[in-house]
Amino acid sequence: MLVTIAPDAPESTALALLTAAAAADLEARRAEDGHGGTVVGVSGNLPADVLSLPGIVAVKTQHKPFMLASREGRPHAPTVVKLGDVRIGGGRPVTMAGPCVVEGREALLEAATAVKAAGADILRGGAFKPRTSPYAFQGLGEEGLRYLAEARESTGLPVVTEVMEPDQVGLVARYADMLQIGARNMANFPLLRAVGKTAKPVLLKRGFSATVEEWLMSAEYVLAGGNAEVVLCERGIRGFDPAFRFNLDLNAVPHAKDLSHLPVVVDPSHGTGHRQLVGRMALAGLACGADGLIVEVHPHPERALCDGSQTITPAELAAIVRSGRAIHAALLETAGDESAAVSLALHS
């Protein structure tokens, strides 16, 4: 059940709903409705008497199982996730870029400076890497996190990096501005609960065999834990054709945005596996309403320690950023609404 409470309602109304839910042995969570009001999501139905308390403006008994992530409780106010001055969602598309893995201090600083010059808003790079082979380079761990923090200092770019285990969350959150949950961990529920308890935004990649509903249920774990700052990332699903490492599922972008108020970004690097496809699929992602991109970029892709075949150069990134801005501007013009988010303007 989703109960919406007006901004000027007495605090006692929300408290009474939470108390009634606890008395009925139901889970209940508070969230913002995006217009100053509150939504209380309850894992069942509350008795009628509490539903007529002052300030209650809407009660929905039929809704998606991902009740906090769903648009139903927050219909016209897309979530905007903030990393310092960078805003993800509801505006200009955001670009996250950097190497697959943090390779070393100088290499990272060089990459960070180059992606910043190319127009990136956020630096990416893995310190803890989920490698398919136990013999492949697993990342520099905390040393890599230190280099990311140094790169942030020198470029001003916030950093996003992967966390793989619940016990690592505290450590990674001390260095990173945004915690990445990798595709292979999308359904690691203890990890989702752990990042749900932090105050750091979360980049939640879609598992490569996960349905959109499963992906949104994973987002729900984070939101239910008390962390409202989740960005969804479509990064490709398994297809049958060995020509592609993964298939970037662009259907999922507008679909996830129809179902959820959370921002959605696209990863055309893992979503294709081929650097020559990255630019065009990045732009396709923006054209179908993505709020941004995460792209693997390296000053010398042929020398990259990880995922070089899908890694582009800073110059290629600069071209994507330029064309991406033009696509965004064209969509806004067509939608005729300067202030609306492209995606919102397109589908509302």
Q: Which residues bind ligand PEP (CB under 6 A)?
A: 100, 126, 130, 182-184, 205, 235, 270
Q: Considering only CA atoms, which of 30, 64, 3, 72 is closest in space to residue 261?
A: 72
Of the candidate spans 16-24, 25-33, 109-117, 304-312, the one that interacts with Mn ion by CB under 5 A turns out to be 304-312
Q: Judged by CB, which is closer to ligand PEP: 63, or 274?
A: 274
The stretch among 73-81, 98-106, 191-199, 319-327 that binds Mn ion (CB under 5 A) is 98-106
Residues in the chain: 348
Which residue's CB comes closest to ligand PEP? Answer: 182
Residue 123 Cβ, how far from ligand PEP at the closest point, in Å? 13
74 binds, among ligand PEP, Mn ion, none (CB under 5 to 8 A by kind): none
Question: Residue 13 or residue 269: which is nearer to ligand PEP going by CB?
Answer: 269
275, 310 Cβ separation under 8 angstroms? yes
Q: In angstroms, rounded to a whole number, what is the distance separating the alpha carbons of residues 142 and 130?
A: 15
Which residues, 6 or more positions from 167, have their beta carbon under 8 angstroms from its beta carbon? Answer: none
Q: Which is nearer to Mn ion, 72 or 307 (CB)?
A: 307
**At its nearest, how many Å lie between ligand PEP and the CB of residue 99?**
9
One character per residue 164-183, x = contact with Mn ion (rule: CB under 5 A): --------------------
- Sheet hosting strand 28-32, strand order edge to edge: 28-32, 38-42, 2-5, 56-60
Going along the chain, which residue ranges are E strands? 2-5, 28-32, 38-42, 56-60, 81-83, 86-88, 94-98, 122-124, 159-162, 178-181, 202-205, 230-234, 264-266, 292-296
CB of 36 to ligand PEP, least distance (A): 36
Asked if 100 touches Mn ion (CB under 5 A), the answer is yes
Nearer to Mn ion, 89 or 125 (CB): 125
**One residue of 234, 249, 267, 307 binding Mn ion per CB under 5 A:** 307
What token pair was written down for 219?
């987002």
Half-sphere exposure of 333 (CA within 13 A, CB side): 6
Residue 57, token pair as written in the block: 């403006």
Closer of 200 and 205 to ligand PEP (Cβ): 205
**Among ligand PEP, Mn ion, none, partner that 235 touches (CB below 5 to 8 angstroms by kind):** ligand PEP
Tokens 């801005």 — which residue? 325
Sign of the four-CA dihedral 202, 205, 207, 212? positive
Nearer to ligand PEP, 50 or 183 (CB): 183
Report the alpha-carbon distance of residue 221 to residue 334 in Å, rounded: 37
Q: Give the Cβ contact number of residue 155 at 10 Å.
A: 19
Binds 92, which of Mn ion, ligand PEP, none (CB < 5 to 8 A, cut-off by type)?
A: none
Question: Which of ligand PEP, Mn ion, none is residue 183 near (CB under 5 to 8 Å by kind)?
Answer: ligand PEP
Please, which residue, 5 or 232, has the CB nearer to Mn ion?
232
Name the site residues for Mn ion (rule: CB under 5 A).
Answer: 100, 307
